[in-house]
């Protein structure tokens, strides 16, 4: 959920990148080794329920608290930033 249509992406993307308007977690998560997320509660809960490790980078709303709990319980890494670079 990037907040804007894929057609508005104006930067070149690496060849190993796939961009979509929507990807259902129940289809996607069983196929991945890790989930990179902004720490949204729904995405984190779904990854946890599927046993998928997390990399969390989010600094708005409740996302820092969600990221801290992910890290505390060993379910993933808290990048402690909303703009990893």
Q: Domain coordinates of the chain in residue numbers?
A: 23-78
Residues 18 and 1: beta-carbon distance below 8 Å: no
pLDDT score recorded for residue 52: 98
User: In tens digits, what is the pLDDT along the chain, a chain of 85 residues?
Assistant: 567 788 888 889 999 988 888 889 999 999 999 999 999 999 999 999 999 999 999 899 999 999 999 999 999 999 998 887 7
pLDDT score recorded for residue 23: 84
pLDDT score recorded for residue 18: 84
3-state secondary structure (DSSP) of residue 38: coil
Q: How far is 10 from 39, CA to CA, in rounded Å?
A: 25
pLDDT score recorded for residue 80: 93
pLDDT score recorded for residue 21: 84
């Amino acid at each position: 959920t990037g907040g804007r249509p894929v057609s508005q992406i104006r930067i070149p993307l690496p060849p190993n990148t796939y961009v979509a308007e929507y990807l259902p977690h129940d289809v996607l998560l069983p196929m991945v080794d890790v989930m990179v997320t902004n720490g949204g509660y729904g995405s984190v809960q779904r990854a946890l329920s599927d046993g998928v490790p997390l990399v969390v980078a989010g600094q708005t709303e409740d996302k820092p608290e969600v990221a801290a709990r992910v890290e505390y319980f060993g379910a993933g890494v808290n990048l402690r930033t909303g703009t990893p670079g």
